[in-house]
Each structure stands twice: as C-alpha cells, then as structure tokens.
A and B are shown apart, each in its own frame.
Chain A
Amino acid sequence: MGAVLSGGELGKEAMEGRRTEEVRDALREVLDPEYPISLVDLGLIRGIEFEGTKAKIRLTYTCMGCPAMDMIQDDVRERLIEMEGIDEVEIEVVWETWSRKDITPLGKKQLRDVGVV
C-alpha cells in the first residue's frame, strides 16, 4: 500500500517532476560531439535533481577514454544555465556502466540513419 501524499506534497512532487522533464527536454537539444544524437537519447543522463536554483546532473560516458568529456560538460552547463530558474549547474560523473542497450529507440533510429549501430 503506497503512502498517501498531502495536497501540498503532491503539488511539490508534481512541480519537481515537471522541472525534471523540462531539464530533460533541454538536454535533448545537447548533442553528442561525435554523432547527431542527444545526450538523453544516447543514455548518458543518469539523474536530474534540484537544490533550489541549482540543477544537479548525474552523467556517465560511453567509455572512460572519451575524448569529449570536457566538451559535453560545457555544453550541458551552457544549455541549462539558459533556463529560467536555474542559476547553477552541478555535474557529477558517476561512471555507471554504459552499453548500446542504454540508447533510446529514437536514438537508435537516428544513429541508423547516419550509418551507425
């Protein structure tokens, strides 16, 4: 049996959820530097949280020797700082495992279209 949320808690939770989705949508505009696929569809975004006006992003990479790590972090920051209500972006590299299974169906289609996967 799930816990019953009060009206206030429900509102707060819904607002956080909406903010999370807005950030995820914004990150869909941030492309991997090598392929025309977003970081979200590539499966690199592993968590989105907020602490006031700070967005906390958990990120992994396709490989530990990824040469574009700095570039990806810069692009994430640059895009999110444009968003209303976000003054700071904190990125934690979590080094969770990544494989092709983490690519979304849309991402796979986009990669197939350019001859990858």
Chain B
Amino acid sequence: MSERPEGTDQVAPGRGAETEFLVENDDALAALVNMIAVIGDNVYFLGRRVSEWADAGPLLESTAACAAITQDKLGQSRAIYPLLEELPWPNPPTGLQGEVDRARRYSVSFLDDPLPSWASVVAALALVGPAVNVVLESVENSRYEALARRAHRILDEERLTSAYAESLVRQICYEERGRRLFQERVDALLPEMLCWFGPDGEEGIEALKAEGLASMGNEEMRQRYLDRIVPLLKESGIEVPVERNEERWEYGELPWSEWNQLQRRLERSGRQ
C-alpha cells in the first residue's frame, strides 16, 4: 500500500487508486509488469516520434494533427506508467519523461530514432498504433481494474486517431511515388510488428490469460491485428506477404532469431 498522496510532486498526476493489486502467480505478475512497460513505452515513443513532425507535416492540417496525436500519446503514457509503481514487483521499469531516462527500451526498434520521412510517420501510425490497440483490447476487461479502465479510455480516444491514420494511408498511396515510399516503410516495419505479439503459446501471455488479466493469446492478437490492417493495405495497393485462407491469415516465417522477448523488439538496430 502506497502512503504517498495523490497529485503531488511525488506522484505522477495520472496515478489511480493507491491500493496495491496482488497477483499470486509470479509468472503472471512478471508478464503484467512487462506488458505495462511495453504499452507505456510504445505509446510514449510513438508520441515522441510524431511530435517531431508537429511543425513539419506536409499540410497544415497534418501538422496540427501531429500535435494533437502527440498530446494524446504522451498523456496516455503518463496514465499507464504509474501502474508500474502499484504492482508488487521489485525494481520495475520507470516511466519515461525523456528519451534517455532509461537505457532499456520496451518499444519497437522502428521508433528508436526520429522518423526520417512522412512515409515513416504514416507507417508508425498505421502499423504500431493498431498493434497497441489490440493489446489494450486484450486487457480491457482485465481483473486488474486500474489497467482495464485506462485501456478502455485509451481505446475510446483512439477511435479518431485510427480513422485519421487510415485516411493517411489512403492519401499517401493515392500517388505512385507516395505508395512506393510507404511500401518501403511497411516492408521494414511489418515483420517487427508481427513478431511483437510474441510466439504462440508464450508462457507469460498464457499466465495472464489463466489469471484473468488478459483475454487473448499471442496468435489471437496477431490475427486480430492482421484483420485490422491487411484489408486497408491491400485496398491501397500495398503488397504484404500475408494471405487469408478460410480460417486465418498466413504470414510465413517471422524473424524470431532477432526477437528480444523481454523488450518486445527486433534487435537489428543494435540498441539495448
């Protein structure tokens, strides 16, 4: 039980109930802490990367939208991070306020460095955002109520961002050059995002399901993600190595040898 008061300098303003949440199963608790850090970091770095385009979008409207999305994402990360302090886990990852606050990142490597092009921004919004949303849907009815409430609230805010990201994909793919540039970014990012949900039957995710902390398994999340992104990409003329058979999406071999399970990222960038 934390004795620190709400809303002071000691506690982030997004902090929720002070009551400590108890999880008997250590595997589930470890996976829960990891999942919260992963959600927080990906939302934080997505906001941070989009913020770097808040004065440089191709149109005045897209520039303003980047500022609004940044405000949403950084706010969402500020609401998620304090949960790490509430769980009875020794030395959890700290929440991020700045880029170099902690050496180990739990975000996809695509977001490590400033996004070099508008096509990269569109790819991040169209491929990273929906992936985070699928994980949030998995914890929206979690018995960890503080996380469930935040997930529900973020998903509510995300409806507009998702619709905007879809419109950006259609816009950039309207012209051949834009489509080609976006195709390159999708090729670079999609394998990492497909790995992001983890190999099927991962122990931590199974423990979360068994404890009522999450509702979906690894493959179920990946299939839901593909349900969401593949039709839009194909309709926009983007080629993806994914095909639907009668029951599910088939996506071939994924680069698991480069996969960092703890940090949920590919290690191709060399960053720890």
Whether A96 is near chain B, meaning CB under 8 Å from some CB there, is yes
**Interface locus among B54-62, B70-78, B89-97:** B70-78
Q: Is the interface of B mostly helix, strand, loop or mixed?
A: helix
Segment of A5-13, A28-36, A61-69, A101-109 in the binding face: A61-69
B149 adjacent to chain A (CB < 8 Å): yes
Residues of chain A from 51 to 98 with CB closer than 8 A to chain B in the complex: 63-67, 69-70, 73-74, 77, 90-97
A69 contact set on B, CB distance < 8 A: 7, 13-14
**Residue among B5, B7, B72, B149 making CB contact with A95, cutoff 8 Å:** B149
- Tally of A-B Cβ pairs under 8 angstroms: 60
Task: Establish whether residues A97 and B6, one from each chain, have CB atoms under 8 Å apart when the complex forms.
Answer: no
Q: Which residues of B contact A77 (CB under 8 A)?
A: 7
Chain A count of residues within 8 A CB distance of the other chain: 18
CB pair A93–B152 under 8 Å, yes or no, is no
Q: Is the CB of A97 within 8 A of B13?
A: no
> Does B153 have its Cβ within 8 Å of any Cβ on chain A?
yes
Nearest-CB residue, chain A, relative to B77: A64
Q: Pick from B76, B149, B150, B156: contact of A65, CB below 8 A.
A: B76
Which 9 residue pairs of A and B lie closest in terms of their CB atoms, listed nearest first? A65-B75, A65-B71, A64-B75, A73-B7, A69-B13, A95-B153, A64-B76, A91-B6, A95-B149
Binding site for B on A (CB under 8 A): 63-67, 69-70, 73-74, 77, 90-97
Q: Can you list 11 contacts pairing A with B, beta carbon distance less than 8 Å?
A: A63-B157, A64-B157, A65-B70, A65-B73, A77-B7, A92-B18, A93-B13, A94-B149, A95-B150, A96-B153, A97-B153
